[in-house]
Amino acid sequence: MNRYIPDSLKKQVIERANYRCEYCLQPDLFAYIAHQIDHIISIKHGGQNNLDNLAYACFQCNINKGSDIGTMLLPDRIFIRLFNPREDNWHDHFEIDNGVIYAKTTVGQATIKVLNLNDINRIIERND
C-alpha cells in the first residue's frame, strides 16, 4: 500500500477539518509542531490511503495514536475502538471544560487514554 498522500488530497483533509486537529480540536495556527495527516485506520490494519480514511491531527495526537485503532479499558478488558472523525460526531463522545476533555462514551474514554488528550501540558496549552 502506497502511503504517499498528494498535496491536493492533504489540502482537502486540512480544509475539511477547518484547520483543527480532529481529535483534540487544537487549531493548527498556534501549534509548535505542524499538524499532520493521520490514517484513521492505519495501513497495517487495512486502512486505505483515501479521503474517507484520513484525518487532520496535531503532532501529539498523531504520535500518541500511532497505528492504534483501539484499546482495552479496565477492569472489563473489552476492546474499545478509537474515535473515528469520519463516522463519529466529536460532541457525541467528548465535552471540553477549562481545557480538560471529558468522555461521554467508552469510545471517548479509549481515545482520551490512547491519545493522552489530558496530559497536563496539553491542558495548559488549550487554556492559553
Dist. CA 58–CA 121, nearest whole Å: 14
19-27, 43-51, 90-98, 101-109 -> range binding Zn ion (CB under 5 A): 19-27
Residue 81: exposed, middle, or buried by beta-carbon count in 10 A (0-12, 13-18, 19+)? middle
The C-alpha cell 479521503 sits at 51
Q: Could you tell me the smallest distance in angstroms from the CB atom of residue 77 to Zn ion?
A: 27
Binding flag, residue 58, Zn ion (CB under 5 A):
yes
Determine which residue in the list 17, 20, 23, 101 makes contact with Zn ion, applying CB under 5 A: 23
Binding flag, residue 21, Zn ion (CB under 5 A):
yes
Number of residues forming the site for Zn ion (CB under 5 A): 5
Q: Which secondary structure element, helix H or strand E, spans residue 106, and what is its range?
A: helix 106-115
